[in-house]
Structure 1
Amino acid sequence: MTVPPLRRTGSGLHWFKAMLVIVHCALCIVHSLPAFSQSKQAVDLYTKGMSLFAERKAAEAIPFLQQAIKESPNFVEAHIRLGQLYEFVRKPELALSTYQAAIKLPADPAALALAYQGASQILLKLGRYADAVPVLETFAKNFPAQSSKAKQVQRLLATARYGQEAVLHPLSVKPKPLSESLKVGDSQYFPVLTADEQTIVFTMLKPDGDEDLMTATQTAEGGWQTPVPLSTNINTAENEGTASLSADGRLVVFTACQSKRGGFGGCDLFSSQKTGDTWSKPENLGPSVNTRYYESQPSLSADGRQLYFISDRPGGLGKRDLWRSTRSANGDWSEPANVGTPVNTPFDEASPFLHANGQVLFFASEGHLGLGGYDLFMSRLTPDSTNHKWGEPGNLGYPINTSEDQASLFVAANGNRAYYSFEEQKEGLSQKSRIYTFDLPDVLRQQVKPVNYLKGIVTDARTKKPLTASLDLIDLRTNQPVSRIASDAETGNYVAVLPAGGDYALYVSAPGYLFKSLSFNYTDKTSTETGMGKGVALDAALEPLGNAGKETLNNLFFESGRYELTGKSRTELERLAEFLKTNASTQIEIAGHTDDRGDPAANLELSKRRAQAVVGYLAKLGVAPTRLKAVGYGKTRPAVPNTSDEARQRNRRIEWRVL
Structure 2
Amino acid sequence: MIKRTYILLVAITVSTCHLAASGQDKEEKIKGKHRRIVEEADFFYGLEDHYMSRELYRELIELYPDNMQFNFRLGYSYLNIRNEEKMAIPYLEVSARNEYTPAFYFLAEAYHLNEQFHKALDALDKYRNRPDKQLTHARIDRVEEKIETAMDMMGYPIEVEIKKLGDHINSDHQDYAPNIDPEGEFLYYTSRRPESTGGFRDPDGNYFEDIFVSKCVSDSWTAAEPLPRPINNDGHDANVNFAPSGNRMIIYRTHKNMISGDLYISDRVREGWSEPQLMGSKVNTPNYNEPSAAFSPDEQEIYIVSDRPGGFGGKDIYVIRKLPTGEWAEPHNLGREINSPFDEDAPFLSLDGQTLYYASMGNGSIGGYDIFRSSKDELGEWDDPHHLGYPINSVYDDIYFSLTADAKRGFLSTSREGNMDIYEVNMLYETEDLVVIKGYVTDGETKEVVKGRISITDRLTGQEMVSVIPNTVTGKYVAAILPDKNYTLHVNAEGYESQEKKVKIQVEEKGEFEVLEMDIQLTKVKGK
TM range (shorter): 0.7 to 0.9
Specify the alignment match of 1:241 in structure 2.
238
How far off its partner does 1:248 sit?
A: 2.0
Aligned length: 503
Residues 512 and 524 of structure 1: is their aligned pair in 2 closer, same or farther, counting only changes over 3 Å? farther
- Which of residues 32, 36, 51 in structure 1 aligns to 2:39? 51
Specify the alignment match of 1:396 in structure 2.
388
Kept in 2: contact 1:476–1:504 (CA 8 A): yes
Counterpart residue identity of residue 386, structure 2: G
**Bigger share in helix:** 1
Kept in 1: contact 2:209–2:235 (CA 8 A): yes
Residues 235 and 21 of structure 1: is their aligned pair in 2 closer, same or farther, counting only changes over 3 Å? farther
Residues 325 and 476 of structure 1: is their aligned pair in 2 closer, same or farther, counting only changes over 3 Å? same
CA distance in 2, matches of 1:478, 1:139: 59
- Which of residues 515, 528, 535 in structure 1 aligns to 2:498? 515
Specify the alignment match of 2:371 in structure 1.
376
1:298 aligns with 2:293: yes
Specify the alignment match of 1:164 in structure 2.
151
Moved more, 124-133 or 135-144: 135-144
- Map residues 353-364 of structure 1 onto 2, 5 A cutoff: 353-364=348-359
CA distance in 2, matches of 1:88, 1:494: 45
CA distance in 2, matches of 1:278, 1:29: 58
How far off its partner does 1:539 sit?
A: 1.4
- Which of residues 538, 560, 563 in structure 1 aligns to 2:518? 538
How far off its partner does 1:149 sit?
A: 2.5
- Map residues 64-463 of structure 1 onto 2, 5 A cutoff: 64-65=60-61, 67-68=63-64, 76-77=68-69, 80-81=72-73, 83-84=75-76, 87=79, 95-105=88-98, 112-142=100-130, 148-178=135-165, 180-182=167-169, 186-207=173-194, 208=199, 209-219=207-217, 221-230=218-227, 232-258=229-255, 266-276=260-270, 278-292=272-286, 293-385=288-380, 389-423=381-415, 425=417, 430-431=418-419, 433-442=420-429, 446=431, 449=432, 451-463=434-446
1:224-266 superposed Cα distances (whole Å, 9 cap, x missing partner): 3444444533222222223212222122222222179xxxx93
SS at match of 1:521: strand
Residues 201 and 399 of structure 1: is their aligned pair in 2 closer, same or farther, counting only changes over 3 Å? same
- Which of residues 461, 469, 484 in structure 1 aligns to 2:452? 469
SS at match of 1:51: helix
Residues 58 and 255 of structure 1: is their aligned pair in 2 closer, same or farther, counting only changes over 3 Å? closer
How far off its partner does 1:476 sit?
A: 1.3
Please, what TM-score do these two structures have when normalized by structure 1? 0.67
CA distance in 2, matches of 1:465, 1:42: 80
SS at match of 2:393: coil
CA distance in 1, matches of 2:166, 2:514: 21
How far off its partner does 1:440 sit?
A: 2.0
Mind listing any 5+ residue stretches in structure 2 that lack a counterpart?
A: 45-52, 200-206
CA distance in 2, matches of 1:44, 1:309: 55
How far off its partner does 1:404 sit?
A: 1.1
How far off its partner does 1:307 sit?
A: 1.5
Residues 479 and 190 of structure 1: is their aligned pair in 2 closer, same or farther, counting only changes over 3 Å? same
Kept in 1: contact 2:357–2:372 (CA 8 A): yes
Residues 296 and 64 of structure 1: is their aligned pair in 2 closer, same or farther, counting only changes over 3 Å? closer
Kept in 1: contact 2:397–2:415 (CA 8 A): no
Specify the alignment match of 2:49 in structure 1.
none
Moved more, 272-281 or 57-66: 57-66
How far off its partner does 1:123 sit?
A: 0.7
Specify the alignment match of 2:204 in structure 1.
none
Tell which structure's C-alpha radius of gyration is larger: 1
1:424-471 superposed Cα distances (whole Å, 9 cap, x missing partner): 65xxxx54x5432121242xx54xx55443222233333444333333
Mind listing any 5+ residue stretches in structure 1 that lack a counterpart?
A: 1-8, 548-582, 584-659
1:481 aligns with 2:464: yes
CA distance in 2, matches of 1:174, 1:390: 28
Kept in 2: contact 1:242–1:296 (CA 8 A): no
Give the root-mean-square deviation of aligned CA atoms.
3.7
SS at match of 1:163: helix
SS at match of 2:221: coil
Counterpart residue identity of residue 213, structure 1: I
CA distance in 1, matches of 2:36, 2:24: 14
Residues 187 and 501 of structure 1: is their aligned pair in 2 closer, same or farther, counting only changes over 3 Å? farther
Kept in 2: contact 1:357–1:499 (CA 8 A): no
Please, what TM-score do these two structures have when normalized by structure 2? 0.83
Kept in 1: contact 2:434–2:483 (CA 8 A): yes
Counterpart residue identity of residue 144, structure 2: L
1:312-356 superposed Cα distances (whole Å, 9 cap, x missing partner): 111111121111111235542221111120221221112122222
Moved more, 313-322 or 170-179: 170-179
Kept in 1: contact 2:507–2:514 (CA 8 A): no
How far off its partner does 1:370 sit?
A: 2.5
1:13-38 superposed Cα distances (whole Å, 9 cap, x missing partner): 546x769999x845x643474665x4
CA distance in 2, matches of 1:43, 1:52: 15
Counterpart residue identity of residue 327, structure 2: D
CA distance in 2, matches of 1:368, 1:305: 28
SS at match of 1:304: coil
CA distance in 2, matches of 1:87, 1:133: 18
How far off its partner does 1:85 sit?
A: 5.8
Structure 1 stretches (4+) deviating beyond 6 angstroms? Answer: 19-22, 43-46
CA distance in 2, matches of 1:322, 1:168: 31
SS at match of 1:503: strand
Kept in 1: contact 2:247–2:472 (CA 8 A): no
1:46-94 superposed Cα distances (whole Å, 9 cap, x missing partner): 9666324124454344454465465xxxx65565445446657876556
Residues 352 and 86 of structure 1: is their aligned pair in 2 closer, same or farther, counting only changes over 3 Å? closer
Residues 122 and 252 of structure 1: is their aligned pair in 2 closer, same or farther, counting only changes over 3 Å? same
How far off its partner does 1:500 sit?
A: 4.2
Counterpart residue identity of residue 515, structure 2: G
SS at match of 1:536: strand
SS at match of 2:220: coil
Kept in 2: contact 1:45–1:64 (CA 8 A): no
Residues 232 and 536 of structure 1: is their aligned pair in 2 closer, same or farther, counting only changes over 3 Å? farther
Counterpart residue identity of residue 276, structure 2: P
CA distance in 1, matches of 2:518, 2:225: 30
